[in-house]
Amino acid sequence: MESMKHTIAELSEHFNSKMAEFQKQLQTSSASATSPASTIATQFSTFRSFVLTALEGLQKQLDVLSRKQDEFEMRSRKKILLIHGVQERHSRSDKPRAVLVKFKDFSLRNKIWYSKSGLKNSGITLSEFLTKERHSTFVAARQRLGVSKCWTKDGYVVVVGADGSQSRILTVGELNAISPLPHDAPLSTSSAPPVSSGPSNTGKVSNIRTKRAIKK
């Protein structure tokens, strides 16, 4: 899906570049020609509009497919929680790997998830197993709004806006609509620090060193 997005973006950029070059040449030819080139200019404009509309339609369809894929993947993870901070006896890293726990009963999963405040100051934290896009959105929200103003719930990223209202979001684009990114402050791509047992909890999808999978 990501490669398709990249391909469409490259095609759009290449097309716009070539059309701008052709339009410039057309204007130069029209100025020096003995007969008007209005017909060619009109055909060019019509063709350009058609291609731009087609590319826009493809992009919208790709966005819909991407959203559906994300929803499907998140549904397959709804019974999973990640446990962070469990020490390992034999590890090649100082940072313990996350423990992935899949529950048979969704209600049991929720009971444990909503009791996570009992782990406060224990060094153990829980997080939801988010998809890559949702995790990236959560990381961006933490960096932009602060840890206390964003958390996850049922696979959604919940953010608190400047007016104090809460919103459920899934993408960075939706985050930008609530809290635009300053032009002089580019978003860092670094990973978020370990989440606490408070309201701000998430699971890192990429580069997770899973210790073991446990079914409950």
- Residue 192: what are its φ and ψ, rounded to 5°? -75, 150
Domain limit, last residue, from 28, 46, 75: 75
pLDDT of the residue at 31: 59
pLDDT tens column, 117-157: 999 989 999 999 999 999 999 999 999 999 999 999 999 99
Question: Last residue of some domain: 54, 75, 96?
Answer: 75
The two tokens of residue 213 are: 């999978």
| Beta-carbon contacts of residue 41 (< 8 Å; ≥ 6 apart) | 26, 30
When pLDDT is cut at 50, 70 and 90, the band that residue 96 belongs to is confident
Same domain, yes or no: 67 and 88 = no
Based on the domain organization, do 64 and 101 belong to the same domain?
Answer: no
Distance CA(212)–CA(82), nearest Å, equals: 10
Contact, 155 vs 128, CB < 8 A? yes
Residue 173: name the closest of 129, 130, 140 by CA: 140
Cβ count within 10 A of residue 118? 9
Quick one: tokens of 170? Answer: 């899934």
| 153-172 pLDDT per residue, tens | 999 999 999 899 999 999 99
Do residues 55 and 89 both lie within one domain?
no
Burial class (CB in 10 A: 0-12, 13-18, 19+), 43: exposed
User: Of 54-63, 178-187, 197-206, which gets the smallest average pLDDT?
Assistant: 197-206
Q: Rounded to the nearest 5°, which phi and psi values hold at 68?
A: -65, -40
What one-letter code names the amino acid at 57? G
Q: At which of 26, 60, 75 does a domain end?
A: 75
Q: How far is CA 128 from the centre of its chain?
A: 15
Instruction: Tell me the residue type at 176.
Output: N
Q: What is the pLDDT of residue 195?
A: 44
**Can you give the pLDDT at residue 194?**
43
**Residue 197: per-residue pLDDT:** 35
Q: What are phi and psi of 213, to 5 degrees?
A: -105, 130
Of 41-50, 113-122, 207-216, the one with minimum mean pLDDT is: 207-216
What is the span of the domain harbouring residue 11? 2-75
Identify whether residues 50 and 131 lie together within a single domain.
no
Q: What's the mean pLDDT when you consider all of the chain?
A: 80
**Into how many domains does the chain fold?**
2
The two tokens of residue 131 are 């998809």
